[in-house]
């Protein structure tokens, strides 16, 4: 009952959204499509790993190529695993999308159906955005705050464009956390990308820590120019 109230309130607020804002959200929501993250991370990651194994002769350069490729494949796997689980849940639950609201209301469900109109819960775009943000932030901790903020904006856009209810977005975001954290632990257990740090923590292996510092510095400069917190503050966020 409470969740239905949340969906109803969000729907009523966003129904009065300015047309200009609606156009912005339609553009932003496209960033949550998994093709924009799965394809580049999968293809580039695989190429870098193969290059590090067979093509690059310099030892350090080969190590950098292998780690970077493996890190991209970790991001790929995080999005793919979480997305598969989301798609299975969509079919099992069979929640109607908001465009069917006038016909069946907020409680429209038709479980075990392949009709995309009944695949509202959970939001796949939001799940992709959050899984991507978490996976990259495990590799570059200083990017966590802006990446999660962007993921949140993409999730909000799914409601704004009338593709999902608010609880769909919350569910999609929530599902990204256990899958991505679990996958990081599995990679570390296999000696891939991450190493254990302390009792329960993880950190990127070499050369990941060096590359993370370089990436954080690249973000810190424009943030400093805007008066935003520096990389050290972002890591603590």
Cα–Cα dist 168/28, whole Å:
18
Question: If DSSP states are collapsed to H, E and C, what string results for 37-76?
Answer: HHHHHHHHHHHHHHHHHHHCCCHHHHHHHHHHHHHHHHHH
| pLDDT at 55 (0 to 100) | 94
Q: CA 184, CA 220: separation in Å to the nearest integer?
A: 26
The pLDDT value recorded for residue 225 is 61
- How far is 216 from 203, CA to CA, in rounded Å? 15
HEC-encoded secondary structure of the chain:
CHHHHHHHHHHHHHHCCCHHHHHHHHHHHHHHCCHHHHHHHHHHHHHHHHHHHHHCCCHHHHHHHHHHHHHHHHHHHHHHHHHHHHHHHHHHHCECCHHHHHHHCCCCECCCCCCHHHCCCCCHHHHHHHHHHHHHHHHCHHHHHHHHHHHHHHHHHHHHCCCCCHHHHHHHHHHHHHHHHHHHHHHHHCCCCEEEECCCEEEECCCHHHHHHHHHHHHHHHHHHCCCCCHHHHHHC
Query: What's the pTM?
Result: 0.88
Tens digit of pLDDT per residue, the chain (237 long)? 445 667 776 666 666 566 677 789 999 999 999 999 999 999 999 999 999 999 999 999 999 999 999 999 999 999 999 999 999 999 999 999 988 877 776 668 899 999 999 999 999 999 999 999 999 999 999 999 999 999 999 999 999 998 999 999 999 999 999 999 999 999 999 999 999 987 778 999 999 999 999 998 887 766 566 565 554 454 443
Show the domain range for 174.
2-236
Residue environment code for 147-179, b if the CB has 16+ CB neighbours within 10 A, otherwise e: bbebbbbbbbbbbbbbbbbbbbbbbbbebbeeb
Could you tell me which residues are beta bridge partners of residue 109? Answer: 95
Residue with tokens 């695993």: 81
pLDDT given at position 18: 67
The pLDDT assigned to 15 comes to 63
d(Cα 191, Cα 194) in Å, to the nearest integer?
7
CATH number assigned to the domain comprising residue 114:
1.20.144
Q: pLDDT value at position 16? A: 59
What's the total number of domains in the chain?
A: 1
């Amino acid at each position: 009952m409470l969740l239905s109230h949340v969906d109803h309130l969000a729907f009523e607020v966003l129904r009065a959204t300015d047309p200009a804002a609606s156009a912005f959200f339609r553009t932003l929501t496209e960033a949550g499509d998994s093709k924009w993250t799965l394809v580049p991370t999968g293809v580039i990651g695989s190429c870098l790993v193969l290059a590090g194994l067979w093509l690059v002769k310099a030892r350090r350069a080969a190590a950098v190529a292998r780690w970077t490729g493996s890190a991209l494949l970790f991001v790929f796997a995080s999005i793919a695993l979480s997305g598969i689980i989301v798609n299975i849940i969509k079919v099992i639950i069979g929640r109607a999308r908001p465009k069917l609201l006038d016909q069946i209301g907020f409680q429209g469900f038709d479980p075990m159906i392949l009709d995309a109109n009944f695949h509202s819960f959970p939001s796949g775009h939001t799940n992709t955005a959050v899984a991507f943000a978490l996976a990259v932030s495990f590799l570059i901790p200083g990017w966590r705050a802006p990446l999660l903020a962007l993921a949140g904006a993409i999730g909000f856009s799914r409601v704004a464009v009338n593709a999902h209810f608010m609880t769909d977005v919350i569910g999609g975001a929530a599902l990204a956390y256990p899958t991505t954290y679990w996958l990081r632990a599995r990679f570390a257990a296999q000696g891939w990308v991450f190493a254990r740090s302390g009792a329960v923590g993880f950190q990127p292996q070499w050369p990941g820590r060096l590359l993370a510092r370089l990436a954080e510095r690249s973000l810190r400069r424009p943030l400093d120019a805007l008066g935003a917190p520096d990389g050290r503050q972002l890591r603590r966020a």
